[in-house]
Amino acid sequence: MSADSTPNTPKNTASGNDVASGAASGASTNPAVDGSELIRFDKVTKRFGSHTVLDALDMNVYSGKHVTLIGPSGSGKTTILRLLMTLLKPDEGTITLAGEYLTHEKKGDKLVPASDKHSRQIRKNIGMVFQQFNLFPNMKVLRNITEAPVHVLGLDKDAAEERARELLDLVGLTEHLDKYPTQLSGGQQQRVAIARALAMRPQVLLLDEVTSALDPELVAGVLDVLRDIAHTTDITMLCVTHEMNFARDISDCVMMFDAGRVIEFGPPEQIFTDPEHERTREFLSAVL
């Protein structure tokens, strides 16, 4: 809407494109092979006061793809993750997950903003790992992981604990299951947070600068776990990160953000070695 009313604004480069379908390689993606469209942003605008963080953003992500969002801070990357997690509501536009509205629901013929109950139902399919871990300090590690599967998904306690133990094994923390989060290092806490998000068996995993709050020597352990997950599962990942090597390793697609728009996207080899935009070049030379 705002884009139409300002004709001199250049149209978003990513508009109408299937971002994560490997478009830059030119290969037309067969949905039967690569999964179907999972996430769709349709003209999503988000403002904070007079500041427009996202400007009529269109974006599709296909099932099973790993998408990395890069760009300077304040360019709207994290906002995308927070909108998907329904921690924020868009001012305009709609977001769908697997064809179901996340931000809205149908009342008769009309589309109305989603009730909490509706978005809760849809967002069960989305997991998120935060920069500050946000483990629940009042629960021990095991219960941090089992609480939601038991009380939200209705899993029985034994099954949830078994799942939690498997995940703790995956993140290499089996021996810490009986500790409180405050007794763990930052890297360990973040790996528990990854296990906690995965315990809900989400279709989509959102990673919001998950290593930014860690001491440098703890970063590798967390990234190794995420690489493992990216390479061994078919979970769809949206990842905001400043770790460019990690982005290159796990991504099917890298999206470069600037001022609330996707200015460029493509497979990591292309974005990192031969970006089209001057802005992307500048950004990468500053962070690499």
Which CB atom, from 24 or from 155, has the smaller least distance to other proteins? 155
The two three-digit tokens of residue 60, written as one number: 């599709």
By the rule CB under 8 A, 201 interacts with other proteins: no
Please report whether residue 114 would count as binding other proteins according to CB under 8 A.
Answer: no
203-262 residues in contact with other proteins (CB under 8 A) are 217-218, 221
DSSP summary character for residue 232: H
Record the tokens describing residue 26, joined without a space: 């030119």
Q: Is residue 206 a contact partner of residue 128, using CB atoms and an 8 Å limit?
A: yes
Residue 87 binds other proteins, judged by CB under 8 A = yes
Q: 144, 179, 184, 137: which is closest to 160 by C-alpha?
A: 144
Q: Residue 286 to residues 72, 195, 280, 283: CA-CA distances in angstroms?
A: 10, 33, 10, 5
Q: How far is the CB of 282 from other proteins (least distance, A)?
A: 32
Please tell me whether residue 178 binds other proteins under the rule CB under 8 A.
Answer: yes
- Binding characters for other proteins, 116-155, by CB under 8 A (x = yes): x---x--xx-xxx-x-x-xxxxx-x------xx--xx---
DSSP string, 154-172: ---HHHHHHHHHHHHHHTT
Is 111 a binding residue for other proteins by CB under 8 A? The answer is no
Dist. CA 208–CA 77, nearest whole Å = 9
The binding site for other proteins (CB under 8 A) comprises 85-87, 116, 120, 123-124, 126-128, 130, 132, 134-138, 140, 147-148, 151-152, 172-173, 176, 178-185, 187-188, 196-197, 200, 217-218, 221
